[in-house]
Amino acid sequence: MKSNPKHMVPPVSRDRIISRFPKWYTPEACLQFKDHFHAQLRTACQQSTGTAGQVSNKPSVQRDKMKISKVVVVGDVYVGKTSLIHRWDTAGQEKFKCIASAYYRGAEVIITVFNLADIQTLDHTKQWLEDALRENEPNSIFIFLVGTKKDLVSDAVCKKTELDAIRFANDMQAEYWSVSAKTGENVKELFFRVAALAFEQSMIRELEKTTGHMAQIGTENLIRLEQNLMEIPEGNNQESLSCC
């Protein structure tokens, strides 16, 4: 019986293959200092594919067998959330929809975004994070604080703003990154970092559940990133959130 082509997973583009554990942006606000994937995960990859870290591109893999890592992207209006996602996902996505608290549930990664050229948007990131964490377990989720539009500020302004952002990140227990969707600076590196951390955590949990059995890494344990966007309207009334 032939598989439904609608459920086929397209081959992984070569520029999306992670061959080593992605490095952090700055050691002052880093989630994990490591150069390699967890030893247990590397062993499982070798057993499943014969090559550590290799991901199967077989067209027989179906979407209904994929393990999804849900990534929620939140922040004020015009901080660059949509541009950031579009810069990464050039294949295109369906139109972003308004989301309610239910869409926060089950997130494995929260990316809270602010504009490096507008310091007020940094102040609002804590409220966004609180809203998202209200629907999730704080100890089971990765948090990223991302400053966008790096191309719009001078190096001096960027460094000054980053000092404040790193303090925010440490309070949030988040990892900090500065990026530019316009130039592409650090965008690929950020999403590689997000994908690697989410994949490792997801697979370690899977391996713990399947002790004594081989986890099918590269087939049923692929990761797809989802993005959900919410915004605070300009003029900023923290109590009156509205969808984009």
pLDDT band at residue 11 using 50, 70 and 90 as cut-offs: low
Q: Contact at 8 Å (CB) between 111 and 73? A: yes
Amino acid, res. 229: L
* Cβ-proximal residues to 20 (8 Å cutoff; 6+ apart), any chain: 35, 36, 53
- Angle formed by the axes of helices 187-209 and 39-49, to 10°? 80
Sign of the four-CA dihedral 36, 175, 107, 244: negative
The pLDDT score that the predictor gives to residue 180 is: 96
Does the residue 240 lie in any domain? no
For the chain, the domain total comes to 1
Does the residue 115 lie in any domain? yes
Does the residue 237 lie in any domain? no
pLDDT tens, residue by residue, 49-80 = 544 444 444 433 344 444 678 888 888 888 88
Q: Which two tokens stand for residue 113?
A: 């975004």
Does the residue 78 lie in any domain? yes
Length, in residues, of the chain: 244
242 burial type by CB count under 10 A (0-12 exposed, 13-18 middle, 19+ buried): exposed
The pLDDT score that the predictor gives to residue 110 is: 93
Which residues pair with residue 71 across a beta bridge?
A: 109
| CATH number, residue 167 | 3.40.50.300
Does the residue 71 lie in any domain? yes
**CA gap 31, 144 in Å, rounded:** 9
Does the residue 24 lie in any domain? no
Does the residue 244 lie in any domain? no
* Cβ-proximal residues to 64 (8 Å cutoff; 6+ apart), any chain: 7
**What is the residue range of 75's domain?**
38-46+62-230
pLDDT tens, residue by residue, 81-137 = 888 876 655 443 434 434 457 777 888 999 999 999 999 999 999 998 998 898 888
**CA gap 126, 112 in Å, rounded:** 8
Mean pLDDT of 205-213: 68
pLDDT band at residue 185 using 50, 70 and 90 as cut-offs: very high
Does the residue 239 lie in any domain? no
Q: Contact at 8 Å (CB) between 144 and 177? A: yes
